[in-house]
Each structure stands twice: as structure tokens, then as C-alpha cells.
Amino acid sequence: QVQLVESGGGSVQSGGSTALSCVASGLTRSSRCMAWFRQLPGKEREGVAVVNSDGSTDYADSVKGRFTISQDNAKTTLYLQMNSLKAEDTAMYYCAADHFPGTWRCGGFKFDYTYWGQGTRVTVSS
């Protein structure tokens, strides 16, 4: 059984930084993709950053140059370093993941991830 547990975030002042972590258990298959999504108040969930199964990364235009996604070597912990935060980054942030055997490709923001964390809130005050 796959479980994703996010931590980090909290309240930050505009221009400040914070970091999120997502610890994954049960991701056993060789091809894995993990991503961060967020849901702003009153809006649909949107992709923030992703580590695709081939190791490449993608970012939403709104966070490029400010956020950095990374993984540990075991590919079981996902990080999101968030710098130069803006009020519009205020949202609930969710970790998403999936895994497949062999070299099956997964990733991107439109992929239908099977596993989701419970979310962690980031509030940026101006």
C-alpha cells in the first residue's frame, strides 16, 4: 500500500522561503513519478512541479525560477523548496505519485496520479 505524507509549509511572509517534504512508502516499482500540486482557495487544483519517471523536471510557469523540486537518491522523498513567495502562492499543497514496472513512462501535470497525500497548507502574508 502506498502512502504519501507531506510536511512543512505553514505561514510565511511575502518574499520569504519555506520547504515541503513528502515521504512516500510503498513505491516499489522501478518507474516512478512524483509531483506537487496545489489548490488555491476557490480554484481547481493545479500542477506546481514534477519529477517525471525519466528524471526530468517540469514547473508551472508561475513558479519557475522560484521553486525547486528534488528527490532523495532512493526516490522515496520528494522536496519542494519555495523561495520568493508571493501571496498568490497561498494554497493547500499536495504530493502525488505513481509507480509502474519496467520503463513505463509517467509524469507531467495531466497524468492521472493514483496516490495523493493529505495536503499541507502554505499561507503567504504580505
pLDDT digits 0-9 by tens, 10-19: 999 999 999 9
- For residue 73, CA distances in Å to 24, 57, 70, 76 come to 13, 15, 10, 8
Q: What is the pLDDT of residues 49-105, one digit of tens each?
A: 999 999 999 999 999 999 999 999 888 899 999 999 999 999 999 999 999 988 888
pLDDT number for residue 33: 95
Q: What is the pLDDT of residues 29-65, one digit of tens each?
A: 888 999 999 998 889 999 999 999 999 999 999 999 9
